[in-house]
Amino acid sequence: MITDAFWLVTLTICALYGLKSPYIALYTVLFVDILKPQQLSFGFLAGKPLSLAVTLVLLISLILNIKKLQTPRIPSITFVLLCFIGWITYTTSIAQFPGPAWFKYDYVIKTIVMTLTIPFILNNRLKVEMALCAIVAGVSYYVLTGGIRTALGQGGYGMPLVSTPLGDSEIAETSTLSMVAVFTIPLLLYIRNHSLFRDQIPFLKPLTLFLVACCILTVIGTYARTGLVGLAVLLFLYFFSSQHKVILALSSVVLTIGLIAFASDAYVSRMQTLENATEESSALGRILVWRWTIDYVSERPLTGGGFDSYIANAGQLHQYLQSGVDLNLKPNQPKAFHNIFFEVLGEQGYVGLFMYILLIFRAWHLNWKLSRDCMAEPAPRAIATALHQVIIIYCVCGMFIGVAYAPWVFYFIGISSGLQNILAVPQKRSAKRGRKLV
């Protein structure tokens, strides 16, 4: 009850300030959507639509403060998001399973509409950094809990590392949690090394390093192969961009040796299943679903089957099975897509998949281009570097889990678009100086 009262008072204060300042309302939405206090509550906030409430506050704030908004400097992401909204609305209206489809549509559309507002609000470096801090703050509870429990030896395969009163969902699911823990590391290192707060907040640098350690421990404690792959990708990205490749390589070797030395036999056995995916039921089940999805979409290539169309594979996967592996599925039990791209393909068809890939690619390309721009200021370049690493990790880890419409990926796309607004002011000033010289 005390915790619920604290959250209620805190969110109420943020909402009141957010009505005057859209960026405060935005940070509140980001924090609530990531942390989900209503799922952690044992009291009167349990199960309440807090995310919807703070989103409504943001929309009201945008209307009241419309003059404070800025048109996105690069509107391509906004345009594709609007097209994607129209497309998923159409595919949901003709979905094969209308009930589940409209239920999923409700929270997906909220996330995308929220993402549309981000580039209109973020117009300076401080606001962009605060948006990243809001996301990191929301994730911190999960990685702190996961890291500490792993250090105490409480992790294990098939066991939720972070439990919630209303059940494990979204970020608390082990594979998803391992992915989130990995892509939080670049954000933490940016905050430590480049943010405006690094010299203003006491103990910020050791705190961020402690959270990085918790992220790594969380990946280990989940026993999720997704997290191990994500860590490998992150180390490769750092090695590729680092000027101290020898030091980074030696550190990676030491980390690997330490992991092997201290990891349990169960953890090592779990990771060894990466070598024989076609003989392990969990991995093989994913492959069979992907084969089924291609056949399923061949009958409806443009629109797919609408949200949650994977339900149609109930009882059909065994016909794709060529080995003697038991999938541990009941006769009429469906299996989810477990892949962000196949998830969008099966639910939105090739048209929706094209839009989805275009959104991710455009956000990644903007960040990659800015990170390599020697004329840009160091801070925006560092933010862009972190964001393009985050997007790559999400795409690689998303090959094994079904998080295509998770809020954080869309929020990173929106922040990537908003980051471009920071670059507009210096360019306009330089243009004016150029005209004066002429």
Per-residue model confidence as pLDDT tens digits over 246-269 = 776 777 677 666 666 556 555 555
d(CA 159, CA 12): 35
**Which of helix, strand or coil describes residue 252?**
helix
pLDDT tens by residue, 83-111: 999 999 999 999 999 999 999 999 899 99
Where residue 284 falls among pLDDT bands split at 50, 70, 90? confident
Mean pLDDT along residues 117-143: 93
| Per-residue pLDDT reduced to its tens digit, 385-420 | 999 999 999 999 999 898 999 998 999 999 999 999
| Contact partners, residue 138, CB within 8 Å, separation at least 6 | 30, 31, 32, 33, 34, 35
Question: Contact, 142 vs 193, CB < 8 A?
Answer: no
The stretch 20-44 carries a mean pLDDT of 88
Number of CB atoms found within 10 A of residue 43's CB:
13
Question: 58: which residues sit within 8 A by CB, 6+ positions away?
Answer: 18, 22, 25, 26, 28, 29, 114, 117
Neighbours of 77 (CB within 10 A): 24
Burial 359-372 (b: 16+ CB within 10 A, else e): bbebbbebbbebbe
Instruction: Kindly state the tokens that stand for 304.
Output: 């797919």
